[in-house]
Chain A
């Protein structure tokens, strides 16, 4: 079984897994990192959205072999200890979450967007394709704008 070494939320990890095993299952089943959620497995719902070297990716379609030597950040790695990321703070203030299942992915997508632009337009926000089945979209939009203003 091939061995893969990379960083997860600042911690170096080595896992034995087939090269093509999706990162999502490496995180959830081998490393017990269960913030990223399964919602579709084919990069459609985007509930598992996490960061690979700071870029947003969907771990359900990233083979573990593609992560070697790189830095994976999941929702668990976003806060600085007890100090939440401004996007998480905005999510709390605007009481965005309903069932909450998509929100780790929504937050990671929003953080990635705010890395690309400090002043996201409505069109930029429209381009976030993460599904929220509860339909919290308008609060997500407001939270992204609130976080952008604060950052």
Chain B
């Protein structure tokens, strides 16, 4: 068990005609625990305080701005200062609210909050942090609302609150009387109401938390009623696409045929913006035709000559060699390369903007909406209060929507052409000009003797990850933009040190990051540094086991630090029937990962008999998140992490070629399809082992990367070193 945080909460009434309750967090206490010993490794920073803890601390003073309201119609609404991108957060929050108010999750309306600058650090969706940071304050808020509703009923009936119960959206008295929440909403908002005992339920009385609940938004999704950004009906908003430069970050020098393009059918306007040339038209089809007809002279970008080869050479050059091992001490050495990877959410980057002389309104899928609002207001020369930024549920993110580039573009175009626009990135632009998971190079050296691992050293060199979204607001975003990248470099080291750690007692353990700025757009990609860093380490763990003549499962079991870790490893091994016979060319692989107070083990089976179509055929995952809020949603997150690993380990990556990725669409960026996905996936959510949830959104990726690579190694007798494993350019690139 690793570090724990404890917080206290103060819930209070918000002045409103009907019941509105908010909650503020109090002081935090972090209490690290010591680890046990094989050849003991000192706790890494992430063992003591992880990034999620930091976000929880940073957001604590403003957690009070979480607001729950009950209307006279009985509708319970919770305004969520986070983004939903498919991770199931709104459902998890509905479960927490419904638990305290004795409702069904589907009765709770969870609405994504607009950008609210007063929330500072508390409106950033990332670092697997939402359920962790919201678990306590949401429950306190809902418990306070319930207490006020009960108190209002008690006052109305002249009864003590003690005998009153709540169920099905109403307060019930022992004598059979009942009052719906809606009928009590006004009375419950009375500041003079005496309210006692508003603590959340103890876990022993939970009837929803910990049970599988289906998504509250699923019906809208399967009927086509779900409205993503470009489905919104914003009056007068016209389709808009942008012609982008032939190299990343290239500039517009001139447009030769603006008038001719303006005269094309359906075209309403042609506008040059810093990132390209925008066309506004009656339909996207016409906008795309006009975009293709543009004749643009382009200026260079910051990395026009940069290709994979130079990137790899740079990374190798800056990555320090491992320390020399003591004379005669045996060791395992390994070097790994990971390619750039697109975030590739299925909903491409996009935004709707309606900019007027004195105000602006923006709609987009945004994980850091405050910094978006602050930047756009400054760009438009408007006071912050005149720029409304609506957070729209998005079709995936995987880290991409931490950035707000489409919203900024849409604002610029709308201002220039003086009309509302619906700006959409094409798929090819999204793949090529969108952000990427940085390419990385890894040097690992582990020394061993007499059956023990004496040291484990891992040097990571990475193309710089852009954290210039800051912690979601302008102050840290500005700090990240300090000259020479110093601010961003500091954030990068903080992120690395607070997320990456080894779960094993491998003696003297060193994990270090060196970043290389290149000028190309990057961004956090689900699990940030851990997918590659921990994935590579899990491969070395297998190679160490082999060198020591141990079974990969038994070896991990011996060197893991805690019983909780061994419990998930055992579960995956047992349920996955570790060691069962496999035909030649097929094999099992296993790996483990722990982060953000959660842990998982993944066992996969791979079939490499057709070298043209290597397939992960089966996967068994065990996961312990301390306290699972919605096991069905957690299972979905683990399945998603597995698919990320299947894709990026086997076939999906970007080739950087003279300042632009070669890949354009999914026919080239080979994301897994149904034929690549395992036909059998079983996820075992371990029962609660703690009293608060750990992070889960990114947890599934690293262990699955390790398991797939290890299975591949065992099936083929090779040592996987470069990812994705099958990375030929098997397509004709789209023209630049």
Which residue of chain A has its CB nearest to the CB of B398?
A133
The listed residue (A25, A95, A131) touching B285 by CB distance below 8 A is A25
Which residue, of A21, A26, A100, has the highest number of chain B Cβ atoms within 10 A?
A: A100
Q: By the criterion of a CB under 8 Å from any partner CB, how many residues of chain B are at the interface?
A: 64
The reply to whether A99 and B231 form a contact with Cβ atoms under 8 Å apart is: no
Q: A40-B665, A92-B218 are in contact. Are A135 and B226 (CB under 8 A)?
A: no
The listed residue (A128, A134, A138) touching B678 by CB distance below 8 A is A138
The reply to whether B636 and A99 form a contact with Cβ atoms under 8 Å apart is: no
The reply to whether B677 and A131 form a contact with Cβ atoms under 8 Å apart is: no
Per the bound structure, the CA–CA distance linking A80 and B145 in Å amounts to 39
The reply to whether B674 and A128 form a contact with Cβ atoms under 8 Å apart is: yes
The reply to whether A95 and B215 form a contact with Cβ atoms under 8 Å apart is: yes
The reply to whether B679 and A141 form a contact with Cβ atoms under 8 Å apart is: yes
| Chain A interface, >50% SS class | loop
Per the bound structure, the CA–CA distance linking A35 and B235 in Å amounts to 19
The reply to whether B665 and A45 form a contact with Cβ atoms under 8 Å apart is: yes
Contacts of B227 in A (CB 8 A): 34
Which residue of chain B has its CB nearest to the CB of A89?
B222
Is B348 among interface residues, defined by CB-CB distance under 8 A? yes
Q: A47-B346, A126-B674 are in contact. Are A97 and B215 (CB under 8 A)?
A: yes
Q: A22-B285, A30-B283, A129-B674 are in contact. Are A79 and B223 (CB under 8 A)?
A: yes
The reply to whether B394 and A38 form a contact with Cβ atoms under 8 Å apart is: no
A110 to chain B, nearest CB (A): 11
Proximity string of chain A (114-133) to chain B, C-beta cutoff 8 Å, 1 when within and 0 when not: 00000000100111111111
Q: A100-B221, A104-B224, A138-B679 are in contact. Are A34 and B347 (CB under 8 A)?
A: no
Q: A38-B424, A126-B675, A138-B677 are in contact. Are A131 and B221 (CB under 8 A)?
A: no
A100 to chain B, nearest CB (A): 3
The reply to whether B396 and A99 form a contact with Cβ atoms under 8 Å apart is: yes
The listed residue (B85, B348, B642, B680) touching A99 by CB distance below 8 A is B85
The listed residue (B214, B666, B673, B681) touching A138 by CB distance below 8 A is B681
Is B40 among interface residues, defined by CB-CB distance under 8 A? no
The reply to whether B639 and A135 form a contact with Cβ atoms under 8 Å apart is: yes
Per the bound structure, the CA–CA distance linking A134 and B665 in Å amounts to 16
Is B667 among interface residues, defined by CB-CB distance under 8 A? yes
Per the bound structure, the CA–CA distance linking A40 and B667 in Å amounts to 10
In the A-B complex, the 9 residue pairs with the smallest Cβ-Cβ separation, listed nearest first, are: A135-B643, A35-B224, A99-B86, A101-B395, A100-B221, A137-B677, A75-B224, A25-B285, A98-B86
Residues of chain A touching chain B, judged by Cβ–Cβ distance below 8 Å, are: 1, 17-18, 21-22, 24-26, 28-30, 32, 34-42, 44-45, 47, 74-76, 78-79, 84, 88, 91-93, 95-104, 107, 122, 125-141
- Seed contacts A21-B283, A35-B224; 4 additional CB < 8 Å A-B pairs: A18-B286, A34-B230, A44-B666, A131-B666
Please, could you name 24 A-B residue pairs with CB atoms under 8 Å apart, sorted by A? Answer: A17-B283, A25-B239, A25-B285, A29-B283, A34-B227, A36-B224, A37-B346, A37-B347, A38-B284, A39-B347, A40-B666, A75-B224, A79-B223, A84-B223, A88-B222, A92-B214, A98-B396, A99-B345, A101-B346, A103-B222, A104-B222, A134-B640, A135-B677, A139-B639
